Structure formats: structure tokens, C-alpha cells
Amino acid sequence: MAIKRHRFKRPRFERSAWREWAIILVPTVLLLGGIVYIASRFIQPAPPNTITITTGGETGAYYKFAQRYQSALKRDGIHLDIKTSAGSLQNLARLRGTTPEAGVAFVQGGTTHPEDSNTMLSLGRMFYEPLWVFHRLPQDIERLAQLQGKRIAVGPAGSGTRNLAALLLNASEVTAANATLVESPGKAAAEALIAGEVDAAFFVAAPDAELVQSLLRSPGVRLMSFSHAEGYARRFPWLARIVLHKGVVDFAQGIPARDAELVAAVALLAVRDDLHPALQFALTQAAAEVHRGPGIFNAAGTFPQSQGIELPMSDVAERFLKSGPPFFQRYLPFWVAVWMDRLLVLLIPLAAVLIPVFKILPSIYDWRVRRPLWKWYEQLHDLEAAIAEHPEDHDKHLETLERIDDEISSSPMPVHYSDPHYQLRSYLEFVHRRLQSYAPDKAGTD
């Protein structure tokens, strides 16, 4: 009996290759889809294009700085909505709670509560807020304790001025029990001082504020120089000792007539901790542009400062102040850079998976294509051994050989695997010839 021969057919490459690749790629695509889904859960939505900042009165430094922020942010397509307030304490109140009235606020140093650290972040310390104590006493004073028994305007209730004045007066043992404390807003306090209705008045204001300039030039009104300025700064770390140098306000008129030591709160730019990181970055960049220049009390580059004394520093702001803008923000428009940063959140985990996957996929494909070849080689090897051990089972061996031959011939094979396929068929022919050598007619048994 002769073995049935099968003509070797050219494998159907397209069908075979795509079938194997589909078996490999479908689970791979599902895996990548799962990674994209998981990564997308960590991507924050695109930032809004409007932020609300709460400042102070329209004549104060907070409001003026907010207007400059507004111009800087407008270039990035962000609108800054400015809300006036009574001062730092009201600003903090607007940031608190589950339904805050603002996302950003100027905050005077020393006015925050410890629990504010749970919901707020600092974008940095932005500028000095000098405390001016003007008086109309007949002699100069250098210590707040000298105001005992006097009428003192300490700022309106709820303001940062009132808060700071009370703190320093209490530290100097000046209280409502031994002095008359008058709560009045800045302009009214200045008018009362000039009119002689109060003996001293506290103001927290920029040196170019109208009421400060007016009082520095008012006859009979003196500016107190703090002999304990450094001591206050050591006791209260959110205060700083500063010096108003002789003549710096008006060199022609020699104002002030002598150096004056002052204390200053350091204003913070506070944000809700849920404010989008991209907006935190935009605000920090605008603040750096506005505050990095020199002033009467500071050299260029003094501000912004990344010291988180009262509120924890924003990671975004701290990185910017230490290292400058990130790569995309240096070369791309703001919104394009934001989109690229969000895209990276997807691409990084994808790349971490895709690189090893693309390296291993060809090996998996090769293993899947060669696996049937190895199976047939094993079956032929076993058949060859069986022929040698039991040559009398010629018909059984022939049926096994024909089955293997049919499987090999009917199984599609990618064309670039034709060499191992033809080698396998050569081994098949070898086993066939070995079987023929044990055929009954060759053994003398017809």
C-alpha cells in the first residue's frame, strides 16, 4: 500500500497572518483600553476660564494688585472676577465652607486659623503690608505701651488692620481697659486723627496709598518708629521688620525726616485647595510678574516667596517659584500647554505598557505560528520510534502518517514561515520512506 500523497499548497498568508495577529491584538487592545480608562480617572477636567478673587476696598492695595493680575491673566484667556471686601478676615470667610464665594484671596499674614490649612493653600508671600501708626502726641513715641490712656483708631471690625492692631497692643498691655479703642475705617480714622478726635491711628496700607501720603505731610501728625520692630518680627514669624528710609517718600521735602523702623505683615495669595492646578500655575505666574520688581521696602526679586508659614504651599506654585514654568508652558500658549499636560497623564502609563508589549508581541506571534510545527515534529518523532519498535503495525502507522500529512497540508501557514514548513514536510517524507522500508512486500510477507 502506498501512502496517499498531498500536493503542498501555498499557505493563504493574508488569512493566516491576520487571524493570528487578531488573536494576539484583541486582548492587547482591551488591555490598553483598560489602562486608558484607569488613567483617565486621574485626569482632572479642563480648568474653567473664570476665577473669582476677593480683595479689599477699591482704594486699597489688594484691589489694585488684583487689577494687574486681571490684565496678566487676560493674555492667557482667563477672566479674573474681582470682588471687593472689608478686608482679610472677610476674604478668608469667603474661601471657607462647602460653597465658597471665591477661589482666590489676598490674606494678611497672621489672620488665618489653623483649620484653614485643611482647605486652603498658599501660592506664596507676595508683598509687605506696612503697619503705620500715626499720632499727634506732643513728643515722639517708640513703644506701643506709651499709648495707654489714649484714644486709638484701630481699624474697622473684621479687618486685618483691626486684627493686627489688637495683637500688638495686647502684647504691649494696651487694652480697652486702659485705652479708648475706636473701630473706624481708614479714611474716617485719618480724618479723625487730623481733626484731633483721636490721639493715634493704625493703618495697614501701601506707602503710596492716598491716606498714608496725606498723613506723612499733615502738620502735627507724626509717624511712630518701632523700637521693638525686630522683637515683634521674632515673636510673630508672619511679621517682618522694615525700614522707611529718610527722604524716600519725597526727597525734595525730606519726607520722612528720619529713618523709621516699621513692622509689616506679609500678604499671602491664598487659594482653595480644590482650585484647578492649571489655574494655580496661571495665578502664580501672574503674581511673579506683578510682584517681582523692587519697592520702597524690598529689592527686586524679593517676592514672591515660597515660604508656607501659615498655609501649606501649593506644589504647583512651589515648583514654579523654584524652577520656573514647566516645559510646555515655556514654549506653548497656556491652553495648549494645559492640554498637553493632561495628555501626558495618558501617554506615560500607555508608553510604559506599549514599549514592552510591542517587544514581546512578535515573540508571541512566532510562538503561536511555530507551535503546531513543534506538535507535528513530536508526532512524527513518536511515529518514527513506533515504526522501528512495531514494524508489523504497518497499516496503523500509515493511517497515522496520512493523518499528520493531511493536518500539515490543510493548515494555513504565513509565507515567511515556508522554510520551517518545508523542513517539516521533508521530515514527513523521511518517515514515509522509513515506513516503506518496513512494508510487508519488503519483508517477504505478501
> Model pTM?
0.66
More confident residue, 279 or 36: 279
Q: What domains are defined for the chain?
A: 13-36+345-443 (no CATH), 50-325 (3.40.190.10)
**pLDDT at residue 339 tops 80:** no
**pLDDT at residue 362 tops 70:** yes
Q: How far from the centroid of its chain's Cα atoms is residue 370's Cα?
A: 50
pLDDT at site 88: 87
Report the candidate in 364, 45, 70, 87 with the shortest Cα–Cα distance to residue 205.
Answer: 87
Assign 308 a pLDDT band (cuts: 50, 70, 90).
low
**pLDDT at residue 13 tops 50:** no
pLDDT at site 273: 93
Residue with C-alpha cell 496520512?
402
- Collapsed DSSP state (helix, strand, coil) of residue 329: helix
- Collapsed DSSP state (helix, strand, coil) of residue 316: helix
| pLDDT mean over 256-267 | 94
How many C-beta neighbours within 10 Å does residue 412 have? 15
Do 314 and 284 contact (CB within 8 A), yes or no?
yes
Write out pLDDT tens, residues 204-245. Answer: 988 888 899 999 999 999 999 999 999 999 999 889 999 999
Residue with C-alpha cell 462647602?
98
Do 135 and 221 contact (CB within 8 A), yes or no?
yes
Whole-angstrom distance, CA of residue 222 vs CA of residue 390: 124
Assign 409 a pLDDT band (cuts: 50, 70, 90).
confident
| pLDDT mean over 129-151 | 95
Whole-angstrom distance, CA of residue 281 vs CA of residue 143: 42
Do 212 and 234 contact (CB within 8 A), yes or no?
no
Residue with C-alpha cell 486652603?
120
- Collapsed DSSP state (helix, strand, coil) of residue 260: strand
- Which residues, including other chains, have CB under 8 Å from residue 318's CB and lie 6 or more apart? 306
- How long a stretch of residues is the chain? 446
> 304: cis peptide before it, omega within 30°?
yes
Write out pLDDT tens, residues 76-116. Answer: 889 999 999 988 889 999 999 888 999 999 999 888 998 99
pLDDT at site 361: 77
